[in-house]
């Protein structure tokens, strides 16, 4: 019961942050980094929203300005790591915030797949993005690239499940999920 409630609150919070199109207040960031475990998807979201949607004018005029010095060091390092990775990446690939499932808490891979289908994230390029190499979301993911490559490899079991979950028109394309006209 608690786990289901936690997942529900987490997912509603994620959706609310993404749909606001404004980075959360510094007070929210400070509190989240104080109370949530370091592997929390919510912390990843706060980092991603901050570096992708930060508006300098709003930040400088904001009442949050005095709190800037209290931002957690780990938050600032994660933002810096993300920016450096994006600037140095051979393949510029921004993790889209509209891909909310990556920040939601899921019981299993099948519930994550259901979530993606429900939100319509298996259409027109979204699935292709989820099957491609993702950038490291936490500093510890930068360490062992061989393991990361293996983790990003999509095996035949997952591809088969994804194909069954797609509408019939996509299943008839013999494994080619998207035609050129879809993209």
Return the residue matching tokens 């929210």: 28
- What pLDDT is attached to residue 70? 92
Confidence of residue 71 (pLDDT cuts 50, 70, 90): very high
Quick count: other Cβ atoms within 10 Å of Cβ 156?
7
- What pLDDT is attached to residue 73? 94
What does the pLDDT look like over 3-28, one tens digit per residue? 888 888 888 888 888 887 777 888 89
C-alpha–C-alpha distance, residues 142 and 77, integer Å: 13
The DSSP secondary-structure symbol of 153 reads -
C-alpha–C-alpha distance, residues 128 and 22, integer Å: 27
Decide if 50 contacts 29 (C-beta within 8 A): yes
- What pLDDT is attached to residue 98? 52
C-alpha–C-alpha distance, residues 176 and 2, integer Å: 41
């Amino acid at each position: 019961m608690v786990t289901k409630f936690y997942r529900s609150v987490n997912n509603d919070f994620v959706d609310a942050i993404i749909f606001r199109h404004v980075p959360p207040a510094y007070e929210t960031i400070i509190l989240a980094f104080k109370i949530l475990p370091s592997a929390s998807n919510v912390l990843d979201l706060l980092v991603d929203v901050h570096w992708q949607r930060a508006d300098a004018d709003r930040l400088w005029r904001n009442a949050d300005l005095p709190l800037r010095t209290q931002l957690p060091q780990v938050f600032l390092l994660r933002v810096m790591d993300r920016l450096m990775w994006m600037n140095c990446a051979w393949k510029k690939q921004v993790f889209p915030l509209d891909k909310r499932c990556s920040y939601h808490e899921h019981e299993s891979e099948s519930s994550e797949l259901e979530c993606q289908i429900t939100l319509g994230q298996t259409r027109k390029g979204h699935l292709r993005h989820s099957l491609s190499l993702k950038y490291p979301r936490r500093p510890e993911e930068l360490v062992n690239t061989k393991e990361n490559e293996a983790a990003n490899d999509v095996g035949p079991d997952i591809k088969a499940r994804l194909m069954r979950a797609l509408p019939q028109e996509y299943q008839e394309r013999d494994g080619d999920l998207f035609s050129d006209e879809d993209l």
